[in-house]
Structure 1
Amino acid sequence: MNQTLTRIRACTVAVSASLALVTALTGGATAQTQAAAHATTVDVPCSVQKLVRAINTANNSPGADTLRLARKCTYNLTSPDATNPANGLPAITSKITIDGNDATITRQASAPDFRILLVDKTGNLTLNKTTISGGRATDCPGAPTPPFPPGLVCGGGINNQGTLTVNHSRVIDNTATSSVLAEGGGIDSDGTATVNDTDVSNNTAIYTGTTPGSADGGGIANDGPLTLTHSRVTDNTVRVTENSNSQAFGAGHAAFAKTTIDYSTISGNRAEAPGGTAQAGGFATFAKTTIDYSTISGNRAEAPGGIALGALSNGSPDRVKVTDTVIRDNTTSAPGGTALGGGVANNGPMDMTRTRVIDNTATAAGGTARGGGIRNGALGQLTLKRSTVLGNTASARGGIAQGGGIDNPAGGTVTTHQSDISDNTAETPGGGTAQGGGIYHAAGSTGTGSTTLKDSTVTGNTAGDGGGIFNASGTVMLKNTVVKRNNPNNCAPLGSVPGCIG
């Protein structure tokens, strides 16, 4: 019976393909060619009313449409769309290309709050050479209620439920603010998104509630697949109410679905959570991610009295791959609290290949600072291949500082291949405990954690004890690895790392 059904299906497919071929050869019009025949290009004068009219016409016409904006015009939106008051322009419901010609679409500062653009589930928008600015989201189209309570706010500049492509554009100075949850200050995407050669900067996601909540993705948040190429995600912010025990994460970009980042820069972003958790001043991922030939630099996660985690933060159960990337000059700061991973906070499977983690800092005056370069958590499975961990610092004035370069204290695994861990520091100015200038290791509560160094070097690192490696418990293995010229000693306690001398 199953074989008969399979043959029937195969026959149907073959007949359909044959009919399509005959139609094409005989010049018959297919649905695709009919749609193409209706594609139109419209020049839109420098008028908001005419832009609104052009979008409505394109939504209601068959085929793809191109709207060519007036060169360098500013389309200044003073009121929301009559049909969709959460948005400044009509929702995109068909296939539309907006060729901006360096135009700007912005919300006037005195206007009511609304985002600029919504791409609906049936919409397919390509945005070229356009600036989207000044949007202030008031709703969250992609969030079902229940289970989510009302009051969520997503996508200050653009909310994408369909298909979005942004080319050579700017998404700047947009905001998502909520007392429940705020996500995607610049762009929030639940559909499929591609961002090419675009600036996403100075956007903000803010949580204003007094009970535990969160602000995610100051620049970008994606719950659908997203590709970021040759782009810049800079100077974005996530912020939560002080002492509300809330989370601010992914100041530049928060990824909740498959994400690819190529040849891009995530820099100068800031996560602020006084008394709460500030996670990933740069990029946070909770899904399968690939990062190639990119830079994550100058980001900050700040949580006075709380917990601050690395500029690149991984909580994905799927493997995250980072290749030919630089992670540098980032800071996690938690005075009186806990700072984890100045550069990277990893709590999942992660491969880092030909990647440089340099000059990052985890600092917690009067608290605990762990992993100036990299913090590997209990679920972390970190592999470094031909990579460098250089010049990072874990600093806790009067507190505890462990793992200037790498901290692996909770039962995770770290494996290095042909990698260099050099000139890192664990310090406690004014007194305290400073251990593991290069690497700090402990087995964790499960007793299963391990650190294995293969064909690698641990040199020139400094701490109060275990200048190179401090092994509090568990297994550290050296395989054809050099540990030397660390201060005040190479490994501690004495004999805890087989094959390490002094």
Structure 2
Amino acid sequence: MRLSISRIVPILMGLILAALGAVTPPAGAQTATPGPDLLGVSRSATPPSNPMHGTPSAEVSRTARGTSRRLTVNVTSCTESDLQAAIAAVATVGGTVNLKRHCTYTLTDATPPNGDNGLPVIKNKVTINGRGATITRAATAGDFRFFEIDGPDGKLTLNALTLSKGHASSGLGNGRGGAIWLSGTGPALTLNDSCLTTNTADTFGGAIDNDNGSVSVNRSTLYNNTANSGGAVFVSPFGGSGTATVDRSRITGNHATRLAGGIAAAVGTTVTLTSTRVTRNDVTGTTPQGGGIAQAGTMTLKRSEVTGNTTTGTNAQGGGIFNVSGTVKLTDSPVTRNTANGTNSHGGGIFNTGFGTVTLTRSPVIHNQALGTGANGGGIFNAAGTVTLVASPVTRNQPNNCGSPSTVPGCS
């Protein structure tokens, strides 16, 4: 049933007020303290010789589904106030927001209006159809991410939407998820044909931090995001059961200062990349690990290239992939032109330690480099664990193909 503006204003305002009264983050959510190992691996698992280191100007309809009601809000302007009101109307009760095509919605609050979030906290099933729109944070605004999704019922789907310049600050909040934070157990995020770019997290997940929820990224791009760890995405930074699936997407040009320029995944997590490129991500610092990927859970790559990623600094490890105690399976997924650069650098393509397992099937390791004094394992450095090559040549890497080649059968 479609209602006129004059009839829906009282209804919508009531829903907005209800939503705004429920956006306080869960107790303690802003003060979580990281454990000693960001990937959740016990220090004993790594051999000592190789440490790991308004009311909207909109038409609104209500649709009865069983005993529940879902709102559809059509935002007909490009104003910040209308965007805020539209999302507030559905954040708690669920529903769909249709943004005006190709608008740019600029958030200008000097102080985050919803905890440390720029927009109302998502606590129910919400879909936002961007239709080519962008939501961005003004340069003069305070520091905030855009969305917090709270478990167990928070489910957010973004279609054809760009989120840019979010900043999750450890000064104003927990510093996690520069654009989006999945909080608690059970929240879910789906990105379709969307882009998260130029977002920053002071701690984990430059674009997305997923705490024990599920993330699905489809035909989307995570580009030029920055964090201490997990430049694009961090899945369960304190260990847990978080999942991520990435399909036909790009994770490119993201940055970290400690761990995982692209994707970080901790113990207990499951991550699957299909037809996805992990490219030109980097970590710069002391003992930087995993230019493209750093992980300790279970990760599967299918037809997904890991190329042109770098770790730079003393004891740089795993220019392409850093695996500690976890399981990585690559199928038809080449590891090429990655670099570990610095004194005592190891594993230009892949660094495996903590008794982790890496299996490559039809996945060549080619043109990777470990550079600097004491560099070793241009292609693969297996510190402690198992590396299996199945129709996967390791060749044309510098200064050598494998460090301790006897530990990588088939590599010389």
TM-score, normalised with respect to structure 2: 0.77
**Could you give the per-residue CA deviations for residues 374-394 of structure 1, whole angstroms, max 9, x where no partner exists?**
11112x100000111110110
Change (3 A) 1:403 1:82: closer
Specify the alignment match of 1:292 in structure 2: 247
Q: How does 1:349-498 map to 2 (within 5 A)?
A: 349-364=298-313, 367-378=314-325, 380-396=326-342, 399-428=343-372, 432-443=373-384, 449-463=385-399, 467-471=400-404, 475-478=407-410, 483=411
Amino acid at match of 2:179: G
Change (3 A) 1:195 1:214: same
Amino acid at match of 2:303: R
Q: How does 1:126-145 map to 2 (within 5 A)?
A: 126-129=97-100, 131-134=104-107, 136=109, 138=112
- How much does 1:132 deviate? 4.1
Partner SS for 1:376: strand
Residues 251 and 282 of structure 1 are in contact (CA less than 8 Å); yes or no, is this contact kept in structure 2?
yes
Residues 115 and 156 of structure 1 are in contact (CA less than 8 Å); yes or no, is this contact kept in structure 2?
no
- How much does 1:123 deviate? 3.6
Name the CA distance, whole Å, in 1 between partners of 2:8 and 2:273. Answer: 43
2:75 corresponds to 1:100: yes
Amino acid at match of 1:290: T
Name the CA distance, whole Å, in 2 between partners of 1:235 and 1:115. Answer: 25
Amino acid at match of 1:441: N
Partner SS for 1:400: coil
**Could you give the per-residue CA deviations for residues 33-71 of structure 1, whole angstroms, max 9, x where no partner exists?**
xxxxxx22435xxxxxx9xx955423669xxxxxxxxxx
Change (3 A) 1:82 1:187: closer
Amino acid at match of 1:426: A
Partner SS for 1:369: coil
Specify the alignment match of 1:28 in structure 2: none
**Could you give the per-residue CA deviations for residues 278-309 of structure 1, whole angstroms, max 9, x where no partner exists?**
1111112221211100000011112xxxx333
- How much does 1:477 deviate? 2.6
Residues 75 and 97 of structure 2 are in contact (CA less than 8 Å); yes or no, is this contact kept in structure 1?
no
Specify the alignment match of 1:320 in structure 2: 271
**Could you give the per-residue CA deviations for residues 118-174 of structure 1, whole angstroms, max 9, x where no partner exists?**
34433434233365431556476xxxxxxxxxxxx3432342111211112322117
Amino acid at match of 1:442: A
Given candidates 278, 283, 286, the residue that maps to 1:332 is 283
2:219 corresponds to 1:279: no
Residues 106 and 135 of structure 1 are in contact (CA less than 8 Å); yes or no, is this contact kept in structure 2?
no
Name the CA distance, whole Å, in 1 between partners of 2:197 and 2:9. Answer: 30
Change (3 A) 1:127 1:159: farther
Partner SS for 2:375: strand
- How much does 1:312 deviate? 1.1
2:294 corresponds to 1:345: yes
Change (3 A) 1:374 1:81: same
Partner SS for 2:93: coil
**Structure 1 unmatched ranges of 5 or more:** 1-38, 44-49, 62-79, 108-113, 141-152, 240-247, 272-277, 444-448, 484-499
Change (3 A) 1:389 1:477: same
Given candidates 202, 209, 229, the residue that maps to 2:165 is 202
Name the CA distance, whole Å, in 1 between partners of 2:195 and 2:169. Answer: 21
Amino acid at match of 2:381: Y
Change (3 A) 1:348 1:41: same
Name the CA distance, whole Å, in 2 between partners of 1:345 and 1:155. Answer: 27
Specify the alignment match of 1:264 in structure 2: 220
Specify the alignment match of 2:34 in structure 1: none
Alignment length (residue pairs): 353
Change (3 A) 1:442 1:403: same
Partner SS for 1:402: coil
Amino acid at match of 1:439: I
Specify the alignment match of 2:29 in structure 1: none
Residues 115 and 138 of structure 1 are in contact (CA less than 8 Å); yes or no, is this contact kept in structure 2?
no
Change (3 A) 1:373 1:170: same
Given candidates 172, 178, 188, the residue that maps to 2:136 is 172
- How much does 1:322 deviate? 0.5
Name the CA distance, whole Å, in 2 between partners of 1:281 and 1:410. Answer: 23
Amino acid at match of 1:297: T
Partner SS for 2:11: helix
Residues 132 and 157 of structure 1 are in contact (CA less than 8 Å); yes or no, is this contact kept in structure 2?
no
Name the CA distance, whole Å, in 2 between partners of 1:279 and 1:249. Answer: 5
Change (3 A) 1:125 1:82: closer
Q: Which has the higher contact order (CA 8 A, sep 6+)?
A: 2
Two-structure CA RMSD over aligned residues (Å): 3.3
Amino acid at match of 2:302: T
State the identity as a percent.
Answer: 29
Q: How does 1:213-228 map to 2 (within 5 A)?
A: 214-223=174-183, 224-228=187-191
TM-score, normalised with respect to structure 1: 0.64
Name the CA distance, whole Å, in 2 between partners of 1:106 and 1:400. Answer: 54
